[in-house]
Structures are given as C-alpha cells and as structure tokens.
Structure 1
Amino acid sequence: MSRNARPHPFLFLFTYQLRVVVLLALTLLAGIAQGASAKKDAKPLDDYEQRIADQALWKELRQNPGYVLLIPAAEAHGDQRPASPDTAKCYQRFNLTDHGATVARHFYNSLRRHDIRKALTYSSQWCPALETATRLGLGYVHEMALLNDLPADSETARKLQIMQLKSWANDLQYNHKNLLVLVAHTSIMAALSGNTPEPQHMQVMKYNTRDKLIYVGSVPLD
C-alpha cells in the first residue's frame, strides 16, 4: 500500500469499534475496582443510621411474609436441659433468673412496640426457652426437639439436626406464610443463621426468591 493510500472503510470501522470496546472494558474494570475499594473502606453505620436500618427491618417483619425471628432463651438458674424432656414440669416453677425475666420482658416490649402481637411460635424443650417463649405473648408455644441444644460429641449429628431444622422450617413457612418465631439456644441460632448472636439481640432470617433461608440481620431490644 502506498504512503498516501487510505485504509479500507471496513478496516477503519473495525479498528474504531475495537477501541471503543477496549475503552468500555477498562472503564468497567476501574468501576469494579473502585466499588470494591469503597466497600472495603466503608465505615460502620452511626447510631442514627443504625436506628433507621433497625426500623426498616422491623417494618419488613411486620408487613411481609416469609420472615423468621430467632430469639435466645433468657438466663436461667443452672443448667436445666432435660435428659429426658418432661416439659410439663417446666410450667410448675419459674425457671428464669430475675435478670432473665427482665430480658424476656424487654423482648415482649420490643415486639409490642413494633406491633408484632401474633406469630407461629416454637421453642426448644429446655425449660428456660419454653418460659421465654411463653413470656413473649405471641400465642400458643409449640415445643420442638430440633431446637434443643446441638450435640457436643458429633459433628455429623449437629449438621444433620440443622439440615432437618431448615427442612422443617421450609415446609412450615410454605404452608403458613406467617412470621415464624423460634426460641432456642445460641448454638442453634449461630448454626442456623451462620452468625454469632449478639447479646440481647434477635436475629432475622427470611426466604429468598429460591425459597432458601438466609440471614438478614439482627435487631436489638428497644
């Protein structure tokens, strides 16, 4: 080709389009890197922002189906996990300490403050959990062996219990669509949600579009 010859129009158009594609790709990569950096450097919410986020989560719980609220059993006198559950005896005495009863009352007040007055309520067969669940005032409390503390001597048994618990919760939620409240040990809450429970917080989970139970966050007593 001579020095003064012009490139073919098709070759010129192809070269131009290639440059545009490369430029867009570089811009996209820069945006992704910037977003990742911003997420990494994101500051935790301040008190006001956290309160707004908590209120929004309470509203979701109150107005939309498919949510599960995990509540820890309040403090009790000694270790009252029954070797052979006889839950009738749980209602023959107070099991919670004074501090535990105060925390349970705070749970009750928080639920009422956010207009949550009725829910499908299930509790482990541990007496403190049953008393905590009863003190919530959300209706009849169903006992559930799957919510009992995880076995300490078998990883396989622990995984199987959590798998069965998720399957049971999926079936229950599919049939009822109500708010589901589970009162259990913190070990159950951590295994089910994948997050260690914060003191005096309720964990929130929900079903996503694929009907998978996922962790959403936690709400404090207020």
Structure 2
Amino acid sequence: MLPHFLIWAVTTLPALGAQAEENAEAWDALRDGQAVLMMRHALAPGTGDPDNFDLDDCNTQRNLSEEGRAQARAWQPLLNIRGISEARVFSSQWCRSMETATAMDIGDVKAWPSLNSFFSNRGDGAAQKRALIALVNELEQGLPVILVSHQVNITALTDVFPSSNEGLILALPLSENPEVLAHVTPGD
C-alpha cells in the first residue's frame, strides 16, 4: 500500500497547486460537518444496465473496470491529506457504487436506496431526491459524510453532469438546489 501511496503522492501532489488552495474552504466544510461529498461511482464502462439487471446479482450489472477500482482506491490518500481518515459512507445499492465506496477504505459502507440510480425509471427521480435531502439533513453531527451515487442522481440534485469518480462538495443543509462548494477528484 505504501508504494502505491508514494506513486500517487509524487504524481498528484504537484497538480494540487492553486486548485487545492481554491478548494481549501470546501474541504474544511466537509471535515467540519458543514458539507457532504457526493460522488459518482468510479469508472464502469457503458451506460445504464443490462436488460437482465438484478440488484442482488453483480453479474447482471455494469461493474467497475480495473481502472475504476484504481480510481476508487485513490480517494483514501486524497481524503487523508485533507485531514479525513474516517467517514460515514453511504452508497447506492448498485454493485459499482458499493464497490467504489468499499474500495475507498475510509469507513463502513451503508446502503441507502435513495442513492440508487433512477436512470431506467426517471419518474422516481423527484421523490428520491426529496428522500435523499431529508436523510442527509437528519444526520447527526459526527464524522464527515460521503455519498456514492450515479450521474443521473447527482445531475437531478445539482444540475452538474459529473464524470466517473468525480465528487462534489455540497454545503449543508442540502436543499432542492444545493450550493456546490467544489468539484473534486483524486487527480486534482
């Protein structure tokens, strides 16, 4: 693990530069419980899910590639550098999201159906968005909060179309139109 971290540090830290300073207040807000990190799962090639999709069977889903697994693992060193060594992690039940959340290795992962993709059933989007906002706003103060979800969910909440493995630091309390404090990825 240490050599991987060193490789990441040597290749990533110089790139943090001005953008790191620009996002310092957002990272402080996340660390201090005044914001949450909502991110799209790491790279899982393709779009949507196969016709035979079964939530309980990862073999029927679009899953992380090797590159996606490496992307997910890259979050831990970035979060550690930002002073976050442990977090409350909530994830969509989709295998690619759960695998992203678990590979981050920053805390126990709890499945939240309100983070599940509604790509195939967009009629559920508004209700799911309201449920997510309520759940997040009901959380008690404590460790930082990380939400792992899908592009469609993040776009519905924020009007941002995130790339795979991109995160948004969102000000609390969440609202129907939350304030985006920063766009972040481990490569930033």
The equivalent residue for 1:201 is: 166
Partner in structure 1 of residue 43 of structure 2: 75
Q: 1:112 to 1:82 in 2, by over 3 A?
A: farther
Tell me the TM-score normalised to structure 1 length.
Answer: 0.64
53, 65, 71: which is aligned to 2:22? Answer: 53
Q: Does 1:105 align with 2:55?
A: no
RMSD: 2.8
Contact 1:80 1:128 in 2 (8 A): no
Deviations 1:103-140 (A, max 9, x none): 11222221122221111111111111101100111221
| Distance in 2 of aligned mates of 1:59 and 1:165 | 23
The match for 1:179 is 144
Q: In structure 2, what is the equivalent of residue 163 of structure 1?
A: 130
CA gap 1:125/1:119 in 2 versus in 1, 3 angstroms: same
- Change over 3 Å in CA distance of 1:128–1:82 after alignment to 2: farther
Which residue in the other structure is 2:12 paired with?
A: none
Q: Would the aligned equivalents of 2:40 and 2:150 in 1 still touch at CA under 8 Å?
A: yes
Q: TM-score, normalised by structure 2?
A: 0.74
> Is the partner of 1:125 in helix, strand or coil?
coil
Structure 1 unaligned spans of 5+: 1-46
Note the alpha carbon deviations across 1:191-214, whole angstroms, 9 max, x for none: 222322245431011215xx7453
| Matched residue, 1:85 | 55
With 197-206 and 127-136 compared, the bigger mean Cα shift is at: 197-206
- Counting aligned pairs with the same residue, the percent is 27
Count of aligned pairs between the two proteins: 165
Task: Using the TM superposition, give the Cα deviation of residue 68 of structure 1 relative to its aligned residue in structure 2, in angstroms.
Answer: 0.8
1:142 equivalent in alignment to 2:110: yes
Q: 2:156 aligns with which of 191, 198, 212?
A: 191
Matched residue type, 2:184: V
Higher Rg: 1
Amino acid at match of 2:171: K
- Structure 1 pair 152/220, CA: closer, same or farther in 2 (3 Å)? same
Sort the Cα spacing of 1:217 and 1:124 in 2 relative to 1 into closer, same or farther, 3 A.
same
1:217 aligns with 2:182: yes
CA separation of 1:141/1:153 partners in 2, compared to 1, >3 Å: closer, same or farther?
Answer: closer
Flag the structure with higher helix content: 1
Whole-angstrom CA distance in 2 between matches of 1:112 and 1:104: 14
CA distance in 2, matches of 1:168, 1:160: 12
